[in-house]
Structure 1
Amino acid sequence: MDEDTKSRLERLQAEIRLQTGERVTQQAILARLVERAFESKADLVDSFREERVPLDDEERARFHEGTVSSGKTTTEADVDDVLYG
């Protein structure tokens, strides 16, 4: 663990003690954080993705220029057939 993260964990530990009057170990804090991360696992995973700047309406319209509907609905099974044979 880098020094900045260790320092932030120590500050969090101190804040918990000040607000609750309870002493908690850093291990207990980390265990609770991991437990809560599983409750919102998708958010955690997304936090490691490359950030993308949202497109404005003009950029979105430019992206869709020239696309046409084939008139055929594509299902997940159709995509799987193309990708996996």
Structure 2
Amino acid sequence: MSTSVKVTDQTKDWLEELQAEIRLETGRNVTQQELLERIVAETYESKDELFDSFRDEFEPLTDEEIDQWMAGTSDWGVETTEEEIDEVLYGE
């Protein structure tokens, strides 16, 4: 069974470059289908890096920024339970 997948011109160029490099390094000709299947199979085995590539870029706060943020808080000496917080946020 064969299915078409549309790719950008840039992706097509990269596939062609990879094909050429594989041919130079190994002496073996591979089709773009073989190349894509290998890329997907190897990526499927190690998904974390792929997942991370789709995450929003997140810059953690510096210690100075954390101190500045925390400087705006104060301890009122009152213990607040999770239930009380939920009640304020979500109602009864």
TM-score > 0.5, shorter chain as reference: yes
1:13 aligns with 19
SS at match of 2:57: coil
Asked if residue 35 in structure 1 is aligned to residue 38 in structure 2, the reply is no
What do you get for the CA RMSD once the two structures are aligned? 2.3
**Structure 2: which amino acid aligns with 1:12?**
L
1:41, distance to aligned residue in structure 2 (A): 0.7
TM value normalised by structure 2: 0.63
1:54, distance to aligned residue in structure 2 (A): 3.1
Q: Which runs of 5+ in 2 are unaligned?
A: 1-6, 83-92
Q: Identify the match of residue 3 of structure 1 among 3, 9, 31.
A: 9
Q: Displaced runs of 4+ in structure 1, greater than 6 A?
A: none
Q: Among the aligned pairs, what percent are the same residue?
A: 48
**Structure 2: which amino acid aligns with 1:10?**
E
**Structure 2: which amino acid aligns with 1:19?**
E
Q: Identify the match of residue 59 of structure 2 among 53, 59, 70.
A: 53
**Structure 2: which amino acid aligns with 1:22?**
R
Q: Which runs of 5+ in 1 are unaligned?
A: 75-85
User: Greater CA radius of gyration, 1 or 2?
Assistant: 2
TM value normalised by structure 1: 0.68
